[in-house]
Copies of this chain bind each other. A is one copy, B any other.
Amino acid sequence: MKQTQLCTHTKKDAPKDEVARNAQLLIRGGFIHKEMAGVYSYLPLGLRVIKKIEEIIRQEMNAIGGQEIVMTALQEKEVWEKTGRWDDAVVDTWFKTRLKNDTELGLAYTHEPAITALMKDYISSYRDLPAYLYQFQTKFRNELRAKSGLFRGREFIMKDLYSFSRTDEELNAFYEKVITAYQKIFVRVGIGDRTYMTLASGGTFGTAYSHEFQTLTAAGEDTIYVHKGKNIAVNKEVLNDDTLRGLNITEDELVEEKSIEVGNIYKLGTFYSKPLNLVYTAESGAVLPAVMGSYGIGVGRLMGTITEVLSHEKGIYWPKEVAPFAVHMISLCRESVDVHAAEALYAEFILGHIEVLYDDRDVRAGEKFADADLLGIPIRIVVSEKTLAHGMVEVRGLRESDTELVKKEDLLACVSRKV
């Protein structure tokens, strides 16, 4: 895409009330737009990142047998009442609304009860199990204070996977598969080296433990205790002798760190299937509740986390699997013969199916470089009169200090090896 045609441009400043680095950089870069506190639109550059993150997650969900669906924001009160979670005193982050006939509806903050009710239509026999469904979906949480940019929103995109199994053993085996899939996802989006599977409380679901995936960052809201040797961590809530003994570690081996939760996985067991009567007939003839699991990743929050941890004060370092473009080609050319050479290189990238943002703007070189730093596209190419005179262009990785001079004719082949 030519940068003159991009509908957004960079900004010197973020809104004054944005203190989180992730929101500051993403707003300044034109990746997101703040509609109100905790509510952000995704602009063309930001949506490209979101789609790449989603596609990575989708591939890993499909690989473990997940089937994608889309559910609805509007939720009926009845289903929620059966699970005891409609009352604002129990769940204090509901957004609620009303039909014309005054029937109250909720805006989904999770789809666990809805999918349990839905699957009653499709699960009746042991032959219908196991079933794994996932969704990328907007969730709504009426946070008293929305803060930290994309870390804690009132409206945000999540991936949720729900599993329905016959037995605890079947759930446990799938749960392990999800752990492996999640680890792959966090590696692929570029934060695998600082993301820890973290033992956490089972919450309200009646199981002893759940697991969070926590990414180390000083901007995080959580405190975790990391065992670097074993590559695991423990959440503050469950840091006790029993937990330590179970993990065969001691407290003095742990390092306290600030972190942000990018994913969580729960064994729901029969927490929802019992009250909502999602049952199946087993091979033995017994009628049993389905055994469920729930596995979330905050997609928007993940984009915020990548921004927070892979950035400097002037811009982002997008990992190549999630970068909005593979290549940022900056033209400093003024003479028409050089401009034509730059255009020809751009055309080569398009034909070679390499995603390129081509800075063809008529602005100062300094402004172009500052914007390129902010946008953080992994490979930077500079096309200038000076090097074109020798038939060369400059190529540099975003985190590399050295520039490589590459012959014009070899540029596509050179870049193809890097993307």
Contacts of A140 on B, CB cut-off 8 Å? 73-74
Cα distance, A76 to B43, chains bound together (Å):
19
**A71 — nearest CB in chain B belongs to which residue?**
B41
Residue among A5, A65, A72, A133 with max Cβ neighbours from chain B (10 Å): A72
A258 interface residue (CB < 8 Å to B)? no
Contact A121:B39 (CB < 8 A) given known A131-B7, A144-B100: no
A-B contact list, 19 entries, CB within 8 Å: A7-B67, A7-B132, A7-B133, A9-B128, A30-B122, A33-B121, A35-B72, A39-B72, A40-B72, A41-B118, A44-B67, A47-B69, A72-B155, A73-B73, A74-B155, A95-B97, A99-B142, A99-B154, A100-B142
Q: Which residues 69-123 of A have a CB within 8 angstroms of B? A: 69-76, 95-100, 105, 107, 114, 118-119, 121-122
A6 interface residue (CB < 8 Å to B)? yes
A36 interface residue (CB < 8 Å to B)? yes
Contacts of A69 on B, CB cut-off 8 Å? 41-44, 47
Is B39 in contact with A122, judged by CB distance below 8 angstroms?
A: no
- The complex is assembled from copies of this chain, and their number is 2
Cα distance, A144 to B100, chains bound together (Å):
6
Contacts of A250 on B, CB cut-off 8 Å? none
A68 interface residue (CB < 8 Å to B)? yes
Cα distance, A100 to B107, chains bound together (Å):
14
Is B33 in contact with A118, judged by CB distance below 8 angstroms?
A: yes
Contacts of A99 on B, CB cut-off 8 Å? 142, 154
A8 interface residue (CB < 8 Å to B)? yes
A50 interface residue (CB < 8 Å to B)? yes
A305 interface residue (CB < 8 Å to B)? no
A294 interface residue (CB < 8 Å to B)? no
A119 shortest CB reach to chain B, Å: 8
